[in-house]
Structure 1
Amino acid sequence: MTVPDSGEIPGDGESPHSGGIRENAHSGGMHRSGEVSGNAFHGPTAFQVGAHNTLNVHHHTTTAPASPLDATADELARVVGAQWQEEAGLRRLLEPAPLPVRWRVSERSVAGRVVGATAEGGRARFAPLPGVGPTTRAQLRGGGGLPELHAVYGGLASGRLLLVGPPAAGKTAAAVLLLLDALAYRARVTPADRARVPVPVLLSLDGWDPAEDSATDWAAGRLTREYTLFHGRGGRDRARALLESGRIALFLDGLDEVTGRLRGAMVSALEGAPARIVLVSRAREAVLTAKKARLGGALALEIQPVRPADAAAYLLNRLPSPPPPAWRALADRLLDEHAPAENAVAAALANPLAIALLRDVYRDDGPVDELLDRSRFRTAAAVENHLLDHAVTAAYTPRPGHPRPRYSPETAERTLRHIAARLTRDGTRDLRWWHIPGWTRRRPRVIAVWIVSAVVCGVPSFLLAWHIAPTPVTAVLGPLGAVGGGWAVSRRAAELSVPQPLSSAGWRDIFTWGTVLSGIGQWLVVGTGLGLVMPMLNDHSPPFWFWYLITLPIGYSELLVTGRGYEIVARAPFLSLGAGGRYDKVREGYARPPVVDTRSVGPRDVWRHHIRLRLLLGLLTGWALGLYVGPILVWTQNLLSGALFAVTAVLWTGALAGLAGNLAVATALTAVQLHAEEGTPVRLMHFLEDARRRNLLRATGPVYQFRHARLQERLAARE
């Protein structure tokens, strides 16, 4: 924002708690109506909790919700609470001995005047949340901590809050903790007021093109992909309705990770969004964006550096009493008021990232006092780089009382360096696992798939051909056909080396009541028709039930092509004939079916879904093709011919529809190739999830990201 008007916001010399919303010195929190008390900042990136460090969101109502949207919002609050409670635990945001967070109104040119955000004496765009007073300029003068941040969020007239700060200042962690506080507050208000308290949802801005989608359309699409609550029929419409009615507040992270052109377009598009918005960005990128577009009415708050006394107290509180000498020496250096201005350790530990890394890298008896060597660590950057370089090793070093890591520190660091270098080369922070097949040369993988499919699938098909016609021609054409079929499978697998869109169709998306009834209807009509007509044409026609048996695949293919299964059946001969145009038409208006489970969807969930669902459906498609012709061969020739055809159909169709076109299988095969070429783990997806649990990666919807951008940069540089 511009420099505040005289009298609005005092200079930096004032105490952060000198005015406006004041902290209760005895309780450690706030006691104003509508605020969350007992919270403070601590953990690996900037972290908070206190006496109320566990979020238990219960939505017990004595009366039925006034609107179906209220029930959906309550369920979304439960799912989001469970999601971020787990994620905050993995980030260690909810541990005791908190590290305080402090914020002040930013004096950078990133937003308009404060009075434009508070709308004092004017018309407020958003009424304060029930039990929260309007935010005023007087309340903002002294800055504050997390409890005050929730009060500002809940009472801000513009509904537009911008959290900025330097890299590794703890901006995202502050947003996560604000989200948890907002959920806890929503759970405490009366049922009558709950509908007026929006459900906060944290989303990454990556992948949004404002030229294609409005903010509401994009957010509704993201909600549909990331929460199974919106996978049902009309789920996207419900998500849109929640957004348009103000029942969802958007917490948007990653503005600084998109290109400059898109940043300005995003900010402009967010102007008209009907939801409350909390936007998180690095300060530098926010300033650059503001030169092109500003978020109207936004209040910019800047996360303040950690004070040396707070850092020392946080570090000592986690140690036994008395603390080890090395840690005591480090704390004394932080508390030394007469230390030279170039105190590298104090400067480095002014951000939560370095403090978290320090606790990760050095154990209670570790030589942490080596950081006081000014000949080795002349600058804060040298200290931070030293901690970053040891972060992976520390995460995978066995610790007493903890399970032994599945991967060695050397393997983990080698793998993460390779991943970081690849992401940096691609200019992204998002690790989309379905793009991994493009990370290696595809020729070795194509040749391997070609050979395996030609042998495994080709042998039964050759035996079938030889059984039907044991001639020299069959002896020549049979192996050639197996080689040709293997080539077709390998070419299909090679297609996935180019980045593909991620399909999200699930069981209930394909096997809906509508598609099942359509398939059954098609099966009964065709089977009955053949059963009535064929006896009139042939005196030796098979029995009536036979026609129902062989027409089952027709019903199955009808089920798939009228829903979202055409991508699977499209590779099966005969079953997909003439269905492409129908599917294109159906796809436009097809609504997903209702689902029973409601949860957030993570990267490993989506990967497992592709392994299990699409592989099984590919095999089922093969069985359908086997039933298409196999019984006819049994009736006209013999049982062996029909059985061989069924096996051949299952193998070839399963290979084409379930294996070669399966993104999860392609990723697993690429992981084997990476293991041979780069020494990464064979079970790469398992490793990524393990790295997430060790606080090196984080999950954002179906993608992974490095927990800290600086860690990715450092690992990529070392690679």
Structure 2
Amino acid sequence: MNDPGAESTPASGEVSGNDFHGPTAFQVGDHNNQHIHHHVTHAAPTAADPLDTTADEFARVVGAQWQEEAGLRRLLEPAPLPVRWRVSERKVAGRVVGATGEGAGRARFGPLPGLGPATRGRLRDGGGLSELHAVYGGLASGRLLLVGAPAAGKTAAAVLLLLDALAHRAAQAAPADRARVPVPVLLSLDGWNPGEDTATDWAADRLSHEYTLFHGKGGRARARQLLEQGRVSLFLDGLDEVTGRLRAAMVSALETAPFRLVLVSRAKEAVLTARKARLSGALAVEIQPVRPADAAGYLLNRLPSTPSPAWQELTGRLLTGTGPLAAALTGPLAIALLRDVYGDDDPVGELLDTDRFPTPAAVENHLLDHAVVAAYTRRPGHPRPRYSAETAERALRYVAARLAQEGTRDLRWWHIPGWTGRRPRMIAVWFVSSVVCGPPGVIMAWSLFPSIPSAVAGALAAIAGGYGVALQFLARSVPQPLSSAGWRDIFTRETVRSGIRQWLFVGTGLCLVLPLVLDPGPPVWLLYLVTLPIGFSELLVTGRGHKILSGTPFLSAGSGRNYDKVREVFARPQVVDTRSVGPVDVWRHHIGLRLFLGLLTGFALALYIGPIVAWGQYPLLGAMFALTAALWAGATSVLAGNLAVATALTGVQLHFEEGTPVRLVRFLEDARRRNLLRATGPVYQFRHARLQERLAARNVPE
């Protein structure tokens, strides 16, 4: 990667520092009460600024996140494609001088350490990635609009620019200089309503959800401070994926944002947005088509020294720059797909048949139609794919069609339970709850009142209880917000201390009071034992695990909305395991920790009831009470209250109805690692909007 601090301007017609790695076409597409900030050039923070450590740690986490993601997107492979840009001539921004601030006196943002100001002279000839970074870091307005045609590689260029910006920040030896370089973070615009949240509020909320460093009320406050001080820069993708009226509102709301911005959009939508709202002071640069010589060189670099005749003919035709194939290969998407779909000895020459492929769109559609098969075809030196190409394509077609129906590009696994009929899952949960949890209750009823009516009443109670659990489970078939994304969301220092204090307070209080009213009173160890669940429930209720207790008898008090303010106080993060939160992280948290905590809730209720009954009556009855309470509380917490369980059951149902893999989330992660999907925070997206559209269009009954 080139030196991001280079300030030299290339001569006309030359491009330097323009490595465009791998299939860079795969764009992330999606996805007023305003606080007015009068923002000027940021002075260097003092060495004692407590946010320095937070910013440095955030830079490390973002760097690790996007290094991994860029590798999965194949942006860091050898033999890169060049990326070139020029100042856009489209009517998407104001005058260039408004962005460079030349002659305006005071700049809104000063150049970053090691970079000079971006001037009209430096912008005249465009450039590559290092020049783009120099523009990003030297633009007086701090507003950069990155536009281009569909599949031009805008998002990939933004990712590589982000990595260059992080490298430039890390290269600053002086802490004061490093503190003046903002930490870049890439977010999708999906889900922002500018009429309800300012840009700063929305960004702080997104950061608090996607990075453990900013979890909790205190973490969100730190994120907001970094944003307000301009110590975070936002790379915002997916402007073209929101509705026109909302796009204009977003652009208007970004006017007063106190941080640097890089806004990514398709050129057509950017022009339409500019007619209603124009980002003041923005500089619009446009990604240029890939040159035929660059495309041919990129393809030849991955082939043997003596390519097959078909490849030689194709690259030779490509160099002439004529025909549908040459027109299709001006975008990185088609070039990358061509590399993925056709091997060294495959009949790539068929793409030159103008009868089969009369237009560039026909070439691109053919490549898109074979992308999934190519990704799931076993190649020498690579492990055998877990899924057949037929199964993978069937599943991805279904997923693409569902997202198309919802009008979104974001695939949230916790919304999958709403994709199919709820009745089969409800019946299954009803049956399992009644069969597994009912017998101990029936046996207990028989032992207390040994008669047929008593046993029948116990059975009917089990059936009714199972139905109640199934009704609670139905709520998981409606799109739900994430209740938590990591174990540190639930077990903060304050919630643990609160649980211990509550346990000791109640246990000690009973030790002091009960001997005054009971003679003899229960033993001390029993009082502390039976009050332990009180401390456990206090821990969950005050933290982000409160929904685990929802509906659980004796333990769910306080798990409603009245405790929201209390939870905000206690949900302070422990900055130990700082990382970005991806889809699999959230899934593992719910299917692992939250499932375990649900079972532990059942045990807690058993511990609360069983010893008391055993001491007051006899041990066997106490054991039966404890077992019955544990099973029903576990069913309520695990089956009815866990998004991952609801998603897993939906995966089984979809397997029989649609032929998708049983373990659907594992399949989605596998598709991500094969570069068919990508991760943006805790959600998946297709590698490119065109791939999603093509798969959705082909989702027809066979």
Query: Which one of the candidate residues 109, 121, 143 is aligned to 2:103?
Result: 121
- Kept after mapping to 2: 8 A contact 1:306/1:351: yes
Task: Indicate yes or no: 2:154 matched with 1:171.
Answer: yes
The CA deviation at 1:24 is: 11
Match of 1:155 in 2: 138
Q: Which residue of 2 aligns with 1:57?
A: none
State the percentage of identical aligned residues. Answer: 75
Alpha-carbon RMSD across the aligned residues, in angstroms, is: 2.0
Which of 384, 394, 412 is residue 432 of structure 1 equivalent to?
412
Q: Deviations over 1:282-314 (max 9, x none)?
A: 011111111110110000001011111111111
Larger RCO of the pair (alpha carbons < 8 Å, separation 6+) = 2
1:451-489 Cα offsets, whole Å, 9 max, x none, are: 111101111221222222222221110110111111011
Matched, 1:274 2:258: yes
Contact 2:187 2:237 in 1 (8 A): yes
Q: Does 1:300 align with 2:288?
A: no
1:363 alignment partner in structure 2: 343
Q: Could you tell me how far 1:556 is from its partner in structure 2?
A: 2.3
Match among 10, 16, 21 for residue 42 of structure 1: 21
- Structure 2 residue 83 is the aligned partner of structure 1 residue 104: no
Deviates more, 1:532-541 or 1:119-128: 532-541
Quote the offset at 1:67 in angstroms: 1.6
CA distance in 1, matches of 2:9, 2:124: 9
Q: 1:648: Cα distance to partner?
A: 1.4
Q: Of 196, 201, 214, which aligns to 1:217? A: 201
Runs of 4+ in structure 1 displaced over 4 angstroms? 23-26
Asked if the contact 1:103/1:301 (under 8 Å) is kept, the reply is yes
Q: Distance in 1 between matches of 2:509 and 2:582?
A: 47
Q: Does 1:677 align with 2:657?
A: yes
Deviations for 1:180-238, whole angstroms, at most 9, x for unmatched residues?
Answer: 11111111122231111111100111011111111011111111111111125611111
Question: Is residue 46–residue 99 contact of structure 1 (8 Å, CA) maintained in 2?
Answer: no
Match of 1:563 in 2: 543
Q: Matches of 1:503 and 1:336 in 2, distance apart?
A: 57
Aligned to 2:392: 412
Note the C-alpha offset of 1:334.
1.0
> Which residue of 550, 573, 583 maps to 2:530?
550
Q: CA deviation at 1:544?
A: 2.6
Q: Is the 8 A contact 1:562 1:582 kept in 2?
A: no
Structure 2 vs 1, CA of residues 595 and 470 (structure 1 numbering), >3 Å: closer, same or farther?
A: farther
Given that 1:508 and 1:595 are in contact with CA atoms closer than 8 Å, whether structure 2 keeps it comes out as: no
Q: Which amino acid aligns with 2:314?
A: L
**C-alpha contact (below 8 Å) 1:566/1:583 kept by paired residues:** no
Opposite residue 175 of structure 1, the aligned amino acid is A
1:492 counterpart = 2:472:
yes
Q: Structure 2, unaligned stretches of length 5 or more?
A: 1-6, 27-44
CA distance in 2, matches of 1:109, 1:590: 50
The answer to whether structure 1 residue 76 and structure 2 residue 58 are counterparts is yes
Residue 423 of structure 2, aligned match among 436, 443, 448:
443
Q: 2: CA distance between counterparts of 1:24 and 1:634?
A: 89
Rounded to whole Å, the distance in 2 between the matches of 1:536 and 1:193 is: 68
Q: 1:325: Cα distance to partner?
A: 1.0
Aligned to 2:116: 133
Shift in Å at residue 326 of structure 1?
A: 0.8
Alpha-carbon separation, structure 1, partners of 2:607 and 2:669: 41
- Local SS of the residue matching 1:496: helix
Cα 1:713–1:322 change in 2 (3 A) is: same
Q: Does 1:289 align with 2:273?
A: yes
Distance 1:223 1:116 in 2: 30
**Equivalent pair of 1:627/1:646 in contact (CA under 8 Å):** yes
1:688 alignment partner, one of 668, 678, 683: 668
Query: Per the alignment, do residues 584 and 94 of structure 1 end up closer, same or farther by CA in structure 2, a change over 3 Å counting?
Result: closer
Say whether 1:574 aligns with 2:543. Answer: no
The residue that corresponds to 2:582 in the other structure is: 602
Q: Quote the offset at 1:581 in angstroms.
A: 6.2
How many correspondences in the alignment? 674
| Contact in 2 for aligned 1:615/1:654 (Cα 8 Å) | no
Of stretches 475-484 and 347-356 in structure 1, the one that deviates more from structure 2 is 475-484
How far does the alpha carbon of each residue in 1:241-262 deviate from its partner, in whole angstroms, 9 at most, with x for none?
Answer: 1111111111000101111111
**In structure 1, C-alpha distance between the alignment counterparts of 2:144 and 2:554, rounded to whole Å:** 57
- 483, 487, 492: which one pairs with 2:463? 483
SS in 1 for 2:551: coil
Question: Partners of 1:578 and 1:664 in 2: how far apart?
Answer: 24
Three-state SS of the structure 1 residue aligned to 2:399 is: helix
CA contact (8 A) 2:94 2:283 kept: yes
Q: Does the C-alpha gap of structure 1 residues 506 and 304 become closer, same or farther in structure 2, counting only changes over 3 Å?
A: closer
Contact 1:214 1:269 in 2 (8 A): yes
Q: 1:125 to 1:372 in 2, by over 3 A?
A: same
Match of 2:170?
187
- Partner AA of 2:214 in structure 1: F
Deviates more, 1:690-699 or 1:578-587: 578-587
Q: Check whether the contact 1:449–1:486 (CA below 8 A) recurs between aligned residues.
A: yes
Instruction: Give the Cα–Cα distance (whole angstroms) in 1 for the partners of residues 168 and 12 of structure 2.
Output: 19
Which aligned pairs between 1:597-676 and structure 2 lie closer than 5 A? 597-676=577-656
Decide whether the 8 Å contact of 2:434 with 2:466 is kept in 1: yes
1:593 and 2:576 matched: no
Provide closer, same or farther for how the CA distance between residues 114 and 25 of structure 1 changes in structure 2, counting only shifts above 3 A.
closer
Q: Which of residues 303, 306, 330 in structure 2 aligns to 1:319? A: 303
Q: Which residue of structure 2 lines up, in the alignment, with residue 52 of structure 1?
A: none
> Alpha-carbon deviation of 1:684?
0.5
CA contact (8 A) 1:20 1:138 kept: no
Query: What TM-score do you get using the length of structure 2 for normalisation?
Result: 0.93
Structure 1 SS opposite 2:477: coil
Q: Partner residue of 2:504?
A: 524
User: Does the 8 Å CA contact 1:93/1:173 hold for their aligned counterparts?
Assistant: yes
- Worse overlay, 656-665 or 572-581: 572-581
State the shift of 1:534 in Å. Answer: 2.5
| Residue type at the aligned position of 2:153 | G
Runs (5+) with no aligned partner, structure 1: 1-18, 30-36, 48-62
Letter of the aligned partner of 2:504 in structure 1?
A: L
